[in-house]
Structure 1
Amino acid sequence: MSVGEVAGLLAAAALVALVGFLAVPILKLGRTVDEFTLVVRDLRQEHVAKTATTVDETNELLASTNAQLQRIDAITSNAQTVTTNVAAMSSLFAATLGGPLVRTAAFTYGVRRAIAARRDGAAAGNGRRRRFGSR
């Protein structure tokens, strides 16, 4: 064997030793990557399941909220109708009874003043009538 062949054999042996030495960490790294892949897959599945549950619950909540809003809309519409009817009745009452009621109040006020003026005149004893407007 020549020196070149021996050097080639030594280089080949060194390369085999280097590959053997590096194979152990590479295999461990491969197992670690496989475990990490499994963990990520499990987390993703759990996350997807939780997200789906959350989305379903949110959809149920929105459906319930929409139903409540429709009920409130109906109540608000009925309240608006009642308010309109009350306003119309109030206007009708004021138009039909307001004028005569004011006249009646003015008439009774005048009668009370006249009676009071007559009493004041009778109490004075002079029997003289007082004028309605003077006091």
Structure 2
Amino acid sequence: MSGSDIAGLIAAGVFAILVALLAVPIIKLGKVFDELRNSIKDLSDGTTPLIGEVVNTVATTNDQLKKVDAITSNVSDASANVSALSSLVAAMVGKPLIKVAAFTSGVKAAMNANASGKGRRSR
């Protein structure tokens, strides 16, 4: 065997050791990827029922919101009716009350004037 053959064998041995040393981290990295895949599968299996429950909850909430919207609409209509009724009552009762108050004030003023002698005197 010549010196170049020995150098070639040493280089091949070093290369084989290097490949063996690099194979260990690559195998560990493969195991990490396997665990990562299993974790993602477990997470997916766990979230699928939760998503179904969320869909049901959102559907129920939408139904309830439709009912609340109908109730709100009815309350708004009732409020408008009460406002119109209050305006009508104020218009119908307000003007006559003002006239009664003015008449009462006039009568009071006349009685006060008559009582103090400032009013008209009869002959």
Same-fold status (TM-score > 0.5): yes
Structure 2 residue 116 is the aligned partner of structure 1 residue 124: yes
Question: Displacement of 1:121 after TM fit?
Answer: 1.6
* Counterpart residue type for residue 82 of structure 1: V
Corresponding residue of 1:6: none
1:86 maps to which of 75, 79, 88:
79
Output the CA distance in 1 between the equivalents of 2:69 and 2:38. Answer: 46
Structure 2 residue 43 is the aligned partner of structure 1 residue 73: no
* Counterpart residue type for residue 90 of structure 1: S
How many residue pairs get aligned? The number is 120
For the aligned residues, what is the CA RMSD? 2.8
Unaligned runs of 5+ in 2: none
Output the CA distance in 1 between the equivalents of 2:24 and 2:119. Answer: 129
Output the CA distance in 1 between the equivalents of 2:55 and 2:28. Answer: 40
TM-score (normalised: structure 1): 0.67
Corresponding residue of 1:132: none
Corresponding residue of 1:19: 12
Corresponding residue of 1:47: 40
* Counterpart residue type for residue 23 of structure 1: A
Output the CA distance in 2 between the equivalents of 1:121 and 1:24. Answer: 131
* Counterpart residue type for residue 109 of structure 1: A
- Over 3 Å counting, the alpha-carbon distance change for 1:121 and 1:29 in structure 2 is same
Corresponding residue of 1:110: 102
Question: Displacement of 1:28 after TM fit?
Answer: 2.1
* Counterpart residue type for residue 84 of structure 1: D
Unaligned runs of 5+ in 1: 1-8, 130-135
Output the CA distance in 1 between the equivalents of 2:47 and 2:34. Answer: 20
Q: Which of structures 1 and 2 has the bigger CA Rg?
A: 1
